[in-house]
Amino acid sequence: MLRIHDHEDGPAEAGEIALLLQGALTLQEVAERLGISLRHVQGHVDDGSLVAIDVGRGGDRRSLRVLTDDLEGFVKRRRTAVAKAAPFPNALAGRPKPLPANPDYAQRRAARLARRKP
C-alpha cells in the first residue's frame, strides 16, 4: 500500500491530502495481465475506456499507472455474454459439404458445379 501525504514523520492531519493506492500497475504490467500489447493498452487509455493516473512530472513525458480497481472495472465492462460469443448457427448451414479424402474427377466436378450460382 502506498500512502502519500505532506508529512513524512506522522499520519496525515485534517486538511492534508492523503492518497491511498491499493495497487497501481504500469501500462506494461496491465498489458501482461490482459495478454495484449502495450500499444493496445495505450489505445484504451487514450480513448477513455481504461482509466489511468498520470504520476509523472510535467506534460512532456507521462508516467501512467492503472489502479487494480479500475482494471477490474474495465474487465467487467468488456466481458462478453455467452450468447454473443457463440458462433452463428446459420453460418454453418450455407457451407458446402467437404469432399472425401481422395475425390475423383467426377466428385470434384460435381462439387464445382454445385458452387456455381444459377
Of 80 and 86, the one with more pLDDT: 80
- The residue-averaged pLDDT of 7-35 equals 68
User: Are 42 and 32 a contacting pair, CB within 8 Å?
Assistant: no
The rounded Cα 53 to chain-centroid distance in angstroms is 18
Those residues whose C-beta lies under 8 Å from the C-beta of residue 64, and which sit 6 or more positions away, are 26, 27, 45, 52, 53, 54, 55, 56
- The residue-averaged pLDDT of 84-101 equals 63
What confidence tier does 67 reach under pLDDT thresholds 50, 70, 90? very high
Q: What is the pLDDT of residue 15?
A: 41
Those residues whose C-beta lies under 8 Å from the C-beta of residue 16, and which sit 6 or more positions away, are 5, 6, 7
Instruction: Output the nine-digit C-alpha cell for 29.
Output: 504490467
